[in-house]
A and B are shown apart, each in its own frame.
Chain A
Amino acid sequence: MNEVGLLDVVVQEEFDRDPTLVFLATNSPAALRGRFGADRVRICAISEQAMVGMGVGAAMSGLRPIVDLNRASFGLLTMDQLVNHAGRMHYQSGGGYRVPMVVTAATRGRQQLGPQNEQCTYGLFMQTPGLTVVVPGSLAEACGLLRTAVRWPGPVLYFVAPELNRQRGLSAALGTPPLPFGVAALLRRGDAATIVAIGGAVPVALAAAESLSNAGTDCDVLDPRTLAPLDVPAIADSVARTGRLIVVDDGPRSGAPVQILGRLAERPDALAALGGRVGFVCQPDVPVPSSPALEDLTWPTEQRIVDEVRRLLDADG
């Protein structure tokens, strides 16, 4: 996994533990290949559809493949295999088959890769039943959730933000045990508002919450960690208490953020508590431009989060 090197170490440790793990990528880590051989660690032609399709077949027949797609944008090439096969075969076979595979991809960083290759596509996969969608919000979560992913009985899409690579505490992160899927992490506690932050936006949201706290406003900061399954009760409980929701994401508003809001409809008490006090701090629904002058406008920043929380607080009059 090019963007977050520590994950290669996690993969190595897991390869030691489980001899059924195999790795498919166009750029497999040399150390992994050297240690476990070309049978288990394969370098493939740039054939994402075939790689993911092979992952499906390998998973159905007894291996646990990790298919690294490098960037999330390349995952769009594999929608057929992910949606029509990986996510369907357990159901379509009446529970007869499972597809325990992990597909990994990097989302977006401040790398100016432009409209095609700076993408958070995980919101798309919240609409495709059968797929588990993992988006870690810290380096430690990245390690712990990857460990869960390679043990999971079904297909897991694992999206990691390159920005997490900047975080410190590598050995502590590496020691993170498998973390549960479908359980949000409450990272800060406060009754003023609920900030739900996803992936690379989590550290930014935490910084904003700290700044607000220093000024006397304490907020819940929730990191869902998995978008499917989504911990709706945790978000709904928080919103029912705070009455304000801000969703913070590196990805487009129409992706994960609006779907999280939509899921709150399952809890009428939570929707009623909001009374319209909802804000989004995320990529607007535009492609990500390359020029830093424009790109900067597409990121959730600490200041934008602070401003949005204050706007909702002021909205009460």
Chain B
Amino acid sequence: MTSIPATLEETAAPPADLASLFAGMALIREFEDRLLELRKAGEVVGPVHPYIGQEAIAVGVCAALGDGDSVVSHYRGHGHALARGVDLNGLTAELFGRANGVCGGKAAALIGDPRRNLLMSSGIVGAGIPVAAGAAMTAQVRGDSSVAVAFFGDGALGSGVVHETLNLASVQRLPLVLVCEHNGYQAGNRTEDIYPEVSVLRIAEAHRVRAVAVDGNDVLAVAAAARSAVAAARAGEGPTFIEARTYLTKFHLQFERPSPEVRPPDELAAWLQRDPLTVALTRAAELDIHLSAEPLRAEARARVEQAVQAARSAPWPAAAEVHTHVLAGAA
């Protein structure tokens, strides 16, 4: 299978789009920065897996989707949720473990939201990928031309079920978009230390799944690749695997303290120069689009702070809720 290069035409999104894409990324960045502070202060439930540095992928991919499409995320999923349009207040309250969280406080970061067809944010690496394939199967059986997207990291490629799903999706021509956020780390390990081959595209190609590599820090490039993949899926041409190369600029997770990981300073500095928000501003300049970063970031910051204040004063779930929604047939 050949990769689909994003054409110049496709990468040149309409000017209005870049501003809204930037706003989407700014919201995630401000949210994640604030979450790390709140986790340190013990206000947020569970671990925080920061998405900082990868915002262009969630925002670029979700910009290519319609309301009827399905999304499957994982534990590093706040960015996907926000890009998908999950309510900021509901998400924040959920991370505070409060009753008005999108999942009633039962999920924390592992949310699902039927209002946005966000099926799940699985805490099991790789396990959400067949679930997205199942949603793609639903679209295929119904013939409604919707698609399903699975977000996952390069770490998921060590999981057997991912390879099983690539095979089934390929042979059944499922309308599925597989978004591999290749950030170079698998929990505390560097991918090159535990994987035999740097090119992850070859894994998809081995299953005869169309594979395309894209600069995961360039939101326009991601959006273009996603549009192509979604269009192919809607047209009945089966799945596409998008390798979005990016970098985990913070760390795997944080409780009171971050997980102890050391990034090579030169490598980190190089990636920070290519921060997705910075890249978007460069692209705006190249394309002669007026993009004023600071007002957008300030607006995002204000929205986040409002959500945090609301979550702080929200009630805890009632004790009876521990027993609700266990068996779907019961109360």
Contacts and interface: CB of A to CB of B under 8 A. Distances in A.
Interface string B118-141: 011011100101111111111111
B73 interface: no
Nearest to A47: B164
B133 A57 contact: yes
17 contacts: A50-B168, A53-B127, A53-B129, A54-B133, A54-B165, A57-B72, A57-B130, A57-B138, A59-B134, A65-B134, A84-B127, A93-B111, A94-B103, A95-B104, A96-B112, A154-B328, A154-B329
Interface in B39-88: 70, 72
Nearest to B172: A42
Interface residues of B, number: 51
Nearest to B131: A57
A81 B135 contact: no
Contact of A50 (B102, B119, B165): B165
Contacts of B140: 39
B119 A61 contact: yes
B131 A54 contact: yes
A286 B328 CA distance: 34
A44 interface: yes
A115 interface: no
A36 B200 CA distance: 38
A261 to B, nearest CB: 22
A6 to B, nearest CB: 25
Interface stretch (A97-105, A190-198, A199-207, A216-224): A97-105
A94 B107 contact: yes
A99 B135 contact: no
B160 A49 contact: yes
A53 B134 contact: yes
Interface in B184-228: none
A62 B137 CA distance: 10
A93 B103 contact: yes
Contacts of A130: 326-327
A57 B135 contact: yes
A98 B328 contact: yes
A60 B135 contact: yes
A130 B102 CA distance: 20
B257 interface: no
Contacts of B27: none
Nearest to A99: B328
The residue in B104, B105, B134, B325 that gathers the most chain A C-beta atoms within 10 A of its C-beta is B134
Contacts of A80: 124, 127, 161
A60 B131 contact: yes
A57 B119 contact: yes
Nearest to A22: B141
Report, as a range, how many residues of chain A touch the other chain.
35 or more
Contacts of B177: none
B101 A94 contact: yes
Contact of A60 (B119, B142, B326, B327): B119
Contacts of A85: 120, 122, 124, 127, 131
B260 interface: no
A47 B133 CA distance: 13
A61 B134 contact: yes
A42 to B, nearest CB: 7
B118 to A, nearest CB: 9
Interface string A270-303: 0000000000000000000000000000000000
Interface of B: 70, 72, 101-107, 110-114, 117, 119-120, 122-124, 127, 129-142, 148, 160-161, 164-165, 167-168, 171-172, 324-330
A81 B164 CA distance: 13
Contacts of B134: 53-61, 65
Nearest to A101: B134
Contact of A154 (B106, B107, B136, B327): B327
Contact of A40 (B117, B141, B161, B325): B141
Interface string A100-123: 100000000000000000000000
Contacts of B172: 42
B168 A47 contact: yes
A138 interface: no
Contacts of B112: 60, 89, 92-93, 96-97
> Top 4 nearest A-B pairs by Cβ distance?
A57-B134, A53-B130, A154-B328, A94-B104
A153 interface: yes
Interface string A139-160: 0000000000000111100000
B168 A84 contact: no
B201 to A, nearest CB: 20
A229 interface: yes
A91 B111 CA distance: 11
B326 A50 contact: no
Nearest to B120: A89
A61 B120 contact: no
A177 to B, nearest CB: 17
A129 to B, nearest CB: 5
A65 B148 CA distance: 17
Contacts of A56: 130-131, 134
Contacts of A42: 137, 172
Contacts of A54: 130-131, 133-134, 137, 165, 168
A53 B126 CA distance: 11
A50 B141 contact: no
A116 to B, nearest CB: 19
Given A58-B137, A99-B328, A153-B328, A81 B130 contact: yes
Contacts of B137: 22, 42, 54, 57-58, 63
